Amino acid sequence: MKAFKPEDMSSTDAYKLISGLVIPRPIAWLTTQNATGLVNAAPFSFFNVVSKEPVIVSIAMTEMKDSVRNLLETKEGVIHLVNMDNVETMNQTSAPLTATESEIEKFGIKMTESEEVKVPAIEDAKARLEVILHQHIPVGKTSQLMLLEVKNILMDDSVIDEEKLYIKAQELDPVARLSGRAYTELGHTFEITRPTK
């Protein structure tokens, strides 16, 4: 087997390997706003569930982006799940805009009011999480780990079987990040019975 020691590599090369191996990654399409009300939207694929009680998710950001500053300032955000209907718009919001520019305004993204936070939500997302900042953890030289408590879970009727509280994955139609410019859809799924002892 080939061995690579991150401490002997540039951060760019180490990132290239780790982001290519840890796949597929769900995408958090995050809206935040600053104290003046300017709304920011940005996608992050270092995103996952951390805790169920309380319900906490994590987003790791590789530098002090507008999203980090806004979360530290206003303590609120909305995470949207990305699907094939909005993946192109999501990609546009990764553009390097200045702190005084809004991706929402620049790309004409339709917004709607949130229920539990002041930050508006992206209207055409099939599912979203309204979150508040639980903890901010600086990691290493540049990364920022944001632990976000979920205060409200909203989704389109087509995505959930309400009687069973079962998420219909195929209806959610999530897009996940691979590496570089590559993404993937849900594709083939299968079930495995867990051992009971």
Pairing of strands 39-44, 121-122: unpaired
Could you tell me which residues come within 8 angstroms of residue 148 by beta carbon, excluding any fewer than 6 positions away? 56, 57, 58, 59, 71, 77, 79, 129, 131, 132, 133, 134
d(CA 157, CA 122): 17
What's the DSSP call for residue 36? T
Other residues' Cβ atoms within 10 Å of the Cβ of residue 23: 13
Task: Encode the chain (197 residues) as per-residue pLDDT tens digits.
Answer: 999 999 999 999 999 999 999 999 999 999 999 999 999 999 999 999 999 999 999 999 987 778 999 999 999 999 999 999 999 999 999 988 888 888 998 899 999 999 999 999 999 999 999 999 999 999 988 899 999 999 999 999 999 999 999 999 999 999 999 998 999 999 888 999 999 98
Please give the CATH number for the structural domain made up of 26-184.
2.30.110.10
